[in-house]
Every structure is written in structure tokens, then in C-alpha cells.
Chain A
Amino acid sequence: MNDPGLFLHRPITRRGALLAGLATALTPLLTSCAGFSTSGSTAASGSVGFLSTQFTPVEEKQRYQAVLAEFVDAPVAYNPVAPGVFASTIQTQATAGKIRTSLLGGLHGELAPLADSLDDVDGLLQDVAGKGFPPAILELTKLGGTTSKYVPWMQATYVVAVHKKALKWLPADVDVNNLSYDGFLAWGKAAKKGAGRPVFGMPAGPKGLHHRFYQGYLLPSFTGGQMTTFRNADAVDAWSYMKELWEVMVPASTNFDAMQEPLARGEVLVAWDHVARLIGAPADNPEDWLMVPAPEGPKGRGYMLIVAGLALPTGGRERDLAEQTIRELSDTRTQIETLRANGFFPVVQTELPTDLTGAISLEADAVRQQQRSKSALLALPPVGLGAKEGEVSEIFKNCFAEICLGDSPIQATLDRQATQLNTILKELDVPCWAPDPVSSGTKCEVA
């Protein structure tokens, strides 16, 4: 029992121990070269380190890297990361004073908390002024300050995707291309009765964007505002409507972060979501799908813009190459190619090509109709919230959870959440933004 030989096929010999020691000694040598590069280019000098939060799915990343290779001269190391990692990476590098990136790309709400670590880009904006950025977006780029902190990169919005199977339950007096909220609800009820189960859905999961629906679509359409009208009588109407709408939605929506999978699976037939998270559903069979503008309410057809921007980190590497890259990305052809590849719309003034096919063309039609509709009511993403962006979104999500899932009385819930919202807004001391009346100098707060 005490003979080691019985236990091993090969006892630990001196040679074995020597080899193990050698491997241990070699490892530092191997690792001193920092490892293999994983961003597609050496990310050494002469290349642009592009850290971004967009195009994280594998296929989108590959397609965008092809766009970059075609339209940008300098080699670009494109690195899409999760928003949390984006924020901590930039903050840590800024605090330590060692910036490893050249170019940052993110949504407005993701760049806003980092405004202090970004360089002014007014000069750059002058260079590309001829491209025709919309003035509303140019206001956003100031991030609540006096100078612009990012150059608009691309834009998107949220629409409603409809599988043609759901059309058979469409009530006779409802036009699917010109929905009203009441018509939408009536359709949902008819569909639930006809199919025997709810077929409408919403991205109400933890990473879902349903808070943008309340902020930019539901509340503006019913109340005409976003923050100032948070708890008035119209808002109560809006939330009681939402409660009824939730009854005709698939309950598993609380687990959906993006709608393209449930749509493709047939679990949901009609859904509202970010265009990029809807585009996968009609990819294989676009003839079976429709994309339509969001519904219209008593105060108009509220819709929200998603703006992505390119920013320069203070102290970033390869500044000249990064600026050149920004100019090239603002070029009309690059912007149109981005639309073709990944479904994000140009921010420059240009006619959309007429030869779009498949899902992209469905999406382009819906977006155009939504923006050009007579009663369109633009809601901007919150301006100047900085790091509190997440908490403000959370307030809207909590309203949904308490009112629709938890059956709390509406006015009481809205009052409670309004107190929290006001605490945050008072701390921030910023003017309101569209669709609330904008007047610089007055603080935004819930009435």
C-alpha cells in the first residue's frame, strides 16, 4: 500500500520534475510578448484603435470591418465591447493617464457620462459641415455643454415589425401603415382571441430597450412631453393604456432582450424594437414581413432618435489618423454602405439609394414614413444626464414593472417615481429637451 509505484503508471522522475520546471520557466518568456493580437490588425503604431459599443454580433462586426477596410485608408483595429466595459475601459485609462485607444464610437447615452474624457471636435465638425448634419443632432453633440464632443456617426430609430400572418386579425378600420394606439390595441385583442394566445411582444427583458418606448413613443404621443408631463392626467391615461396593451402581449416578453429571435421563431408576430434588433427576423424571407411606423396618439406620433457618434479621447494615440478616419466615415458613400451592411441610417444629408433590398428596404421605408408623417413628434434621447442616464432609464422600467406586472395603482406609482426622478434632475440641473419645451437656463423637472 505504501509503494508509490502501485499508484502511478509513471512515477515522478527527476526528468519529469525537470521538464515541469522548464515549462514553468518558459512561460514568462512566452507571455512577455503580450500574446496574439485579436482586433484584426496589429494595433501598433500607424493603426487606429477604434473602441466601440456598436456591431457586437459576429456577423455585423465582420460586415463593418469590411466597410472600414474599403473606405478608410489607415488600418483600423475595430473592437466592439459591451457598454459597461466601454465605460470602465475609458475611465480607467483616463484616470491612469495612459490612453490606448485612438477613436471611440458609441451611442449618445454612452458617450454622455464620458464627456470629461473627450476632446472638443468643433474644428472637425467645421471640416465636415458641408455634409449637412441635422441641427437637432448637432445640438445633441454638445452633451449639454458649450462645445461639441462627438461627430455624428450614424442614426437609427425604433419601428414596429409585423409578420403578415398577423394581418388577418387586423380590424377593418385600422390601416397598418398609419396605426393609432387605439387601433393597435384593438388589433392586439383580436389577434389574441383569434390565435388563442397573445402574439404581440415587446423587449421587456433586462437588456431590452422598452424604456425608450415609454420615454420616446408612449408618453410623448399621449402627453406631448417626456419629463415635465411625467405624472399628469395624460400620463395616467398612457399607463392605463399600457396596462391594457400588456394583457395582449406574450408574458415571456419579460425575458426578451431583442425581438428578432422571438419574431423569427414565430413566438411573437408583432413587435416594437430598435431597427438593428428587428433586422434579423425578415432576413431569410422578407416577403412575409412588414415594417411599419409606430402608432399615433392623441398628441402626435412620438418617435425617438438613436444617435451614434465618433469621439476622440483626450490624449489618444494617432490623433491625425483618427481625425482622418472620422472624415472618411462622414463621407456619403461610407454612410450608405453602412446602411446596406448593418441597417444604420446616414446622418448626412443624402438621398437613400433606390436599390435597397430585403430587410433593409423594409426598414428604410418604415423609418422614412415615420419621420415624414404629418403628426411626427421627435423625442430626443435625454441630454446632459451624464452618469445618471442608467438610473433615469431604470425609473421608466420600474414604472412598467410596478404598474403592469405588479398591478400598483397608477397615480401613486407615478408620484413615487416622480419624486425619485426629481431628486436626480435637481442634482443635475439641466434644461429640458425635445419633446419637452426647451429653454436654457430653466431646470428640467417633473411638474
Chain B
Amino acid sequence: MAVESVLSAPALAVSVRPRRIPPAVWLIGPSIVFMAFLLGWPVVQGVLQAFRNEEGFTLEFVARMADDPYFWPAVRNTFLLIAVMIPLQFAFAIAMALLLRANPRFHKAHFFIWAIPLALSDLAAGLVWLAIFNDRGYLNSALSLVGLEGASWLAYDNQTALFVCVLIAEVWRSTSLVLVIVVSGLQGIPRDYDEAAQVFGAGFWQRLRHVTLPLLKPSLQVALILRTILAFQTFAVAQALTGQNFPLVVGETYRWYTGLQNPNVAAALALIILGASLVTSIFYLRALREKGQGN
């Protein structure tokens, strides 16, 4: 192509030059150096804590971690929450983005409102949802105003109700992240493709599956990776709502570190989160790879 020959001409003119450092290295180099300098040593120290005591390498902390009565419930709860929440959130966020794209009235105001939960810290979100679900909170107050009997939504012996409450609160708090990424990704999709498909008689779901979603892949990949990593790490809402009645692995990490003053077991728990996050990220990177962008 004419364009390529123009671009490659300068290189051909100086043919004896030794292999240049690819420009990509200059662009990503600073970020690698920065992260490595800042977090490299702390991460190594932090990770080693899980396996090292005065004598040397040991698995006693891992054993201690697995023996704790809250460990397996925490693992189960974490994976259950992630498996249910992520698909739900993504379906919700894509639906919201498509609704916005259909240009309802005041769509700018609606978009702003839908992005507001982003601004809330998870501690504040936990606080407000606790005030809603509490025995004497807003939900029971509203029900009593209508004449209905309130229920104990956060009772420690009702794991299902606890799960649903945490799910609702987390979906409210964190779907905005996915929404904003999906919306900014939708900006890059020309309407022409969608309209062309419509002209050829494709129905709504067909257009969604074959036109919109494939073009949205880069954004969805990023949103999935970021959202899953963050989901493994947030527990402030679950802790505010349920105390220790719905343990999560990252909550246990904090409890072992700050409450029980045992950084080694905490590091072992953190490694589980790290492992799970990396495995899911690799899965997303491979499964949603763009053609031509792979290794």
C-alpha cells in the first residue's frame, strides 16, 4: 500500500542501522519502571510473609488459614457472590447503555444520575444500605407506613436474605463502573452497522448478538477484568450489612491482619485473592481477544 511504503521509506534508506528499540518500549517503559520501583519490593515482602517465619520456608500459615472455621464459608461466599453478581451487573449495565442510546428525554441527566454511585466510597455505600435494611431502617419504616410488618432482613441465621441484601447493595454501588466503560465504548460504534443490519431484517436480539456486542468486545474485556478484580477486593458493604455473618476472603484478610495481628496468615489469604484475580484475568484476556491483537 502506498501509505506503508511512505512510512517504511526512512528505515530502508539507512539499512545498516542496528535494530532500534521498538517505540513501544519507550511508551510502556516508564510505567513498568514506576510500578516496579514503587511496589516491587513491598509486593515481594508481602507475598513472602505467607511462607516465611524465623526458621525459613514454612506452610504453617497456610495450614492455619485453612483450619480457621470461617475460611471455607468465606471462599464459598466469595465465589458465589462473584459468579452471580458479575453476569447480573453486566446484563444490567448493557441494558442501561442501550436504553440511553435509544435517546430518551433528558438522557444526559439520567446518565449523570446513573454515574453518581461511582463517587461514593464503599464505606459510605455500606452505611447507607445498612440504614435501609436495618431492623429499624428505611425499608421497614416505609413498609410500616404502608401498614405492612417489617422483617429482619439482616438476621444472622438467614443466609439467603443476607446474600440477596449484599447483592442488591453491591449491584447498586458498582454497576456504574461498568456502565461508564460500556457507554464510552458504545461511542466508538458507528450507527451505520446497526442500521444496515436493521435494513437487512435483523431483529433486536440478533443485532445485539452479532453487531453490537462483538464491536463492544474491547470495552467489555476491560470492564470485566477491572470489575472482577475490584469485586474480589471489596468487602466494606458486606461487612457493614452482615458483620461476620457473611464472611468473604478479603474480609478475612483484613481481620487476620488488623484484628488478630497476624500478617502471615493475612498474606496467605491475600495470595488466594491474587491467584483468583489473575486466573480470571487470563481467562478474560484469552476469551475476548480481538483478532489481530493477540501475541
Give residues in A with beta carbon < 8 Å to B.
1, 82-84, 87, 113, 205-206, 251-252, 254-255, 265-267, 387-391, 394, 398, 401-402, 405
B89 an interface residue at 8 Å Cβ cutoff?
no
**Could you say which residues of chain A place their CB within 8 Å of the CB of B258?**
82-84
Contact (Cβ within 8 A) B156 A390: no
**Could you say which residues of chain A place their CB within 8 Å of the CB of B154?**
252, 255
- B15-23, B110-118, B237-245, B271-279 - interface stretch: B237-245
Pairs A–B under 8 Å by Cβ, sample size 25: A1-B190, A84-B257, A84-B258, A84-B259, A87-B261, A206-B239, A206-B255, A251-B152, A251-B155, A252-B134, A252-B154, A252-B155, A254-B245, A255-B154, A255-B156, A255-B242, A266-B136, A267-B135, A267-B136, A387-B261, A387-B262, A388-B261, A389-B261, A390-B260, A394-B259
18 more A-B residue pairs beyond the given contacts A266-B136, A394-B260, with a C-beta to C-beta distance below 8 A = A113-B261, A205-B243, A206-B239, A206-B259, A251-B152, A251-B155, A251-B156, A252-B134, A252-B154, A254-B156, A254-B244, A255-B245, A388-B261, A390-B261, A390-B262, A391-B261, A391-B262, A405-B156
State the Cβ distance, A391 to closest chain B Cβ, in Å.
5
State the Cβ distance, A135 to closest chain B Cβ, in Å.
29
Bound: A398/B261 CA distance, A: 17
B10 an interface residue at 8 Å Cβ cutoff?
no
Bound: A325/B212 CA distance, A: 69
Bound: A364/B69 CA distance, A: 40
Bound: A351/B74 CA distance, A: 51
B54 an interface residue at 8 Å Cβ cutoff?
no
Bound: A205/B261 CA distance, A: 18
Digitize B127-164: 1 where CB-to-A-CB distance is under 8 Å, 0 elsewhere: 00000001110000000000000001011110000000
Give residues in B with beta carbon < 8 Å to A.
69, 134-136, 152, 154-157, 190, 239, 242-245, 255, 257-262
Bound: A255/B154 CA distance, A: 9
What residue of chain B has the Cβ atom nearest to residue A386's Cβ? B261
Bound: A252/B69 CA distance, A: 21
State the Cβ distance, B289 to closest chain A Cβ, in Å.
27
Bound: A255/B240 CA distance, A: 8
Contact (Cβ within 8 A) B152 A252: yes
Contact (Cβ within 8 A) A255 B243: yes
**Could you say which residues of chain A place their CB within 8 Å of the CB of B245?**
254-255
Please indicate which of the listed interface residues A87, A251, A266 has the most CB atoms of chain B within 10 Å of its own CB. Answer: A251
Contact (Cβ within 8 A) A398 B156: no
State the Cβ distance, B8 to closest chain A Cβ, in Å.
24
State the Cβ distance, A309 to closest chain B Cβ, in Å.
18
Bound: A265/B130 CA distance, A: 15
**Could you say which residues of chain A place their CB within 8 Å of the CB of B242?**
255
Contact (Cβ within 8 A) A265 B136: yes
**Could you say which residues of chain A place their CB within 8 Å of the CB of B155?**
251-252
Bound: A391/B155 CA distance, A: 26
Contact (Cβ within 8 A) B243 A254: yes
Bound: A265/B259 CA distance, A: 28
Bound: A254/B257 CA distance, A: 21
**Could you say which residues of chain B place their CB within 8 Å of the CB of A254?**
156, 243-245
**Could you say which residues of chain B place their CB within 8 Å of the CB of A1?**
190
Contact (Cβ within 8 A) B261 A252: no
Q: A251-B156, A254-B156 are in contact. Are A206 and B261 (CB under 8 A)?
A: no
**Could you say which residues of chain B place their CB within 8 Å of the CB of A87?**
261
**Could you say which residues of chain B place their CB within 8 Å of the CB of A265?**
136
Bound: A388/B152 CA distance, A: 36
**Could you say which residues of chain B place their CB within 8 Å of the CB of A84?**
257-259
What residue of chain A has the Cβ atom nearest to residue B156's Cβ? A254
Contact (Cβ within 8 A) A251 B257: no
